[in-house]
Chain A
């Protein structure tokens, strides 16, 4: 199957700093990438959908100024958590899809811990 990578796999930062997470589709071109957040023992919550070359569409309740998403190429999307706070600590997972009717492939996730 298709491979999606995320970097870093784990990051610890101080409160108030910004953290950037990268998501790459390694062997296919992803017209659409998605960012999810997973809380312990909880399901994946969709944060935003990003199409290459256009602004991301955020789900209700997700602050677009706090979670900046860039999808500048067909193989790379980035999520920047700005002015991180301890409540932003979570597991962030990206997924990528080649086309509208295609399967979404998931990255391994990034564990963010804000001290």
Chain B
């Protein structure tokens, strides 16, 4: 079964700082990769996703992520964070051809706190 690990539990940054959140997954087959964001008191929103093609994926609000297959990684980046980026960030993976199940499996999440 696939699993997802997010290395940073809580990241604290000042506005305009650059952000990189780590995500690694374990699964040997074809995967789809996602980053979701959950703002305080709100539901999950899709930031970006990778299915195939260009491994550098651009999402909403200036976020991007790079899929490095050899490292089983899908790190999220943003060159300059804003106070409004304060939220919980979840990396998720699913294996679309996995007979054991194709549901999204989530990492434990990273809390990002941005101070103005």
Query: In the complex, which residues of chain B have a beta carbon less than 8 angstroms from the beta carbon of A101?
Result: 32, 51, 96
Query: In the complex, which residues of chain A have a beta carbon less than 8 angstroms from the beta carbon of B111?
Result: 41
- Chain B 2-41 against A: per-residue CB contact (8 Å), 1 yes, 0 no? 0000000000000000000000000000001010100000
Asked if residues B109 and A100 are in contact (CB atoms below 8 Å), the reply is no
Residue of B42, B90, B104, B107 near A34 (CB, 8 A) is B104
- Chain A 28-47 against B: per-residue CB contact (8 Å), 1 yes, 0 no? 00001010100001111010
Residue of A34, A42, A105 near B103 (CB, 8 A) is A34
Give the nearest-CB partner of A105 in chain B.
Answer: B46
Classify chain A's interface size: 20 to 34
**Contact of B101 with A by CB under 8 A:** yes
A35-B62 Cα distance, complex, nearest whole Å: 30
Instruction: Give the A-B contact count at a CB cut-off of 8 A.
Output: 46
Give the nearest-CB partner of B36 in chain A.
Answer: A106
Number of B residues near A (Cβ < 8 Å) is 22
**Contact of B57 with A by CB under 8 A:** no
- Chain B 78-116 against A: per-residue CB contact (8 Å), 1 yes, 0 no? 000000000000100010100001111111110100000
Q: Which residues of B are in contact with A by a Cβ distance under 8 Å? A: 32, 34, 36, 42-44, 46, 49, 51, 90, 94, 96, 101-109, 111
Report 7 cross-chain contacts, Cβ distance below 8 Å, ordered by A residue.
A34-B103, A43-B106, A101-B51, A103-B34, A103-B49, A106-B43, A108-B43
